[in-house]
């Protein structure tokens, strides 16, 4: 945020946080995008920032939620929700009961469905505008926020949006500060009841760990499918870029299979 940017003294910000999942170990942690949302909210001058989470208070999720408290907060509001529920109605009710002027959250969760639709569905239910890819909140004056939106290739776009509004952040937002152990342990998880809506669609789905995508082959694009077939066969036979000709279907298939194994696509 620029030094000259100013915010309304009464600006109230709610940051929606979730329990993340470490991509390597699989352990519960504070979600990276949500932690960036917290960091961005803390950078808005003269703003009152509240943390809100809808979910359970399981043993593995509590340390992750306390990771947000360690960023300098005394309390986090926990809307209790059992596993397998749709948190959208509970979040909408909580925000509607005490509406903030600005809601900030990550673009998608690190576990569960992770579709990235929650901010948009929440904005639709509340009747608020939504802005994605936020990089900074430059100023808030007379109920209008000036936002800096991140675009591809490092570009930025300045937008004005009337509050209340929901904004999402991604990797372009400021990196989150390290969570301090003492404040994280002393902080309070204020559990409040919320309406429970069973997610029937999610209950019928079958999930499995995602598999690593296969490597892309570094083969020069050919003009036709026949040329690509010959080029792959040539590389598999060590042709040094020369195209094999007059090969049978079996010979070509064997050459391509050999190439895929060499490139690590097949084991």
Tell me the CB-side half-sphere exposure of residue 226, using CA atoms within 13 A.
4
Give the pTM: 0.73
Give the Å distances, CA to CA, from 4 to 44, 45, 134, 140, 145: 12, 10, 19, 12, 15
CA distance 106 to 40: 11
Phi and psi at residue 147, in whole multiples of 5°? -115, 155
Nearest to 189 by CA among 22, 10, 19, 25: 19
At residue 227, the pLDDT reads 62
At residue 218, the pLDDT reads 62
At residue 246, the pLDDT reads 75
CA distance 34 to 62: 16
At residue 1, the pLDDT reads 40
Nearest to 190 by CA among 86, 41, 57: 57
CA distance 35 to 76: 13
At residue 194, the pLDDT reads 82
At residue 116, the pLDDT reads 87
Going residue by residue through the chain (267 aa), what tens digit of pLDDT does each one get? 433 333 345 789 999 999 999 888 888 999 999 999 999 999 998 899 999 999 877 767 899 999 999 999 999 999 988 877 889 999 999 999 889 999 999 998 888 777 889 999 999 999 999 999 999 999 999 999 999 999 988 899 999 999 999 999 988 899 999 999 999 999 999 988 888 887 777 667 777 776 777 777 665 554 555 665 666 555 555 544 446 567 788 888 888 888 778 777 776
- Record the tokens describing residue 173, joined without a space: 């937002």
């Amino acid at each position: 945020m620029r030094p000259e940017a100013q915010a309304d003294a009464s600006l109230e910000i709610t940051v929606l946080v979730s329990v993340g999942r470490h991509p390597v170990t699989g352990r519960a942690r504070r979600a990276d995008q949500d932690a960036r949302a917290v960091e961005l909210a803390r950078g808005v001058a003269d703003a009152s920032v509240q943390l809100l989470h809808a979910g359970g208070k399981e043993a593995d999720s509590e340390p992750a939620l306390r990771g947000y408290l360690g960023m300098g907060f005394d309390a986090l509001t926990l809307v209790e929700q059992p596993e397998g529920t749709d948190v959208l109605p509970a979040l909408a009710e909580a925000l509607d009961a005490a509406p903030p002027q600005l809601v900030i959250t990550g673009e998608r969760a690190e576990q569960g469905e992770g579709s990235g639709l929650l901010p948009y569905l929440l904005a639709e239910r509340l009747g608020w505008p939504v802005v994605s890819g936020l990089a900074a909140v430059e100023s808030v004056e007379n109920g209008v926020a000036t936002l800096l939106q991140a675009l591809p290739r490092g570009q930025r776009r300045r937008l004005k949006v009337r509050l209340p509004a929901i904004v999402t952040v991604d990797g372009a937002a400021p990196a989150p500060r390290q969570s301090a152990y003492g404040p994280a342990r002393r902080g309070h998880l204020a559990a409040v009841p919320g309406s429970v809506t069973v997610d029937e669609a999610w209950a019928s789905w079958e999930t499995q760990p995602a598999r690593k995508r296969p490597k892309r082959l570094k083969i020069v694009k050919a003009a036709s499918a026949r040329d690509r077939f010959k080029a792959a066969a040539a590389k598999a036979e060590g042709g040094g870029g020369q195209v094999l000709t007059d090969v049978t279907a079996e010979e070509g298939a064997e050459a391509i299979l050999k190439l895929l194994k060499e490139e690590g696509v097949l084991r």
